[in-house]
Structure 1
Amino acid sequence: MGDRRCSPSSTSTNARTLTPQFVHCARRGGAENTVRAADPSSRTMWTPVLNNVVLTAMFGLYLGLMTVPRQVEDVTGAHVRLLDFGTTAGIAVQALALVPFTRAAGFRSPR
């Protein structure tokens, strides 16, 4: 069995690309709850579905374009970047889908 530890470069890459997702998930959750409080009939519950569609498409692309690694050592930088980009794109699409709901509920961005 080979060494199963993560390399420092892959850990740094994941930290750089995944940390903004935590921030945006929290902000999206706050915005979604605020919109629901202002307008309980809003359809914000469908925004996570958009995230799932993006993630499913990204996973299909991952499986279609790349071979599935058999060991940790087989994971390349391209694998990590594709997964990081796909998850970030899913969060971004979900957050952008909330913009019309927040505007309809009367919230505007501060200037």
Structure 2
Amino acid sequence: MKGLKKKESQVVKDCLDNMGDSVDQLSKSILELGNMRNGNSASFLWHMSNVQTWVSAALTDESTCVDGFADHALDGKVKAAIRGRVVYVAQVTSNALALVNNFATRRN
């Protein structure tokens, strides 16, 4: 990554890896929701459990990315730019998890 010190570059790479994992988890969640039918209660619970697990894992990946910036001395502009965007994504993911949890509770 041009213009970054080696340590900065590694932190950004680690964050990108975490965010990629987060996207994978959220993508699986969307597919799982799409596969849900008005089946029996056990089937619904199984699908919802998968979605809750994967959205929660996505949130953990995003938090890990943010934590990586806290642990290292980075250029302030780089840190602020990336951290701010990741925090926003984590807030949206947290909202999604709350909606999923609420849906699971009301449906059950």
TM-score by length of 2: 0.47
User: More helix per residue: 1 or 2?
Assistant: 2
- Which structure has the larger Rg? 1
Higher relative contact order at CA 8 Å, sep ≥6: structure 1 or structure 2?
Answer: 1
Q: TM-score, normalised by structure 1?
A: 0.46
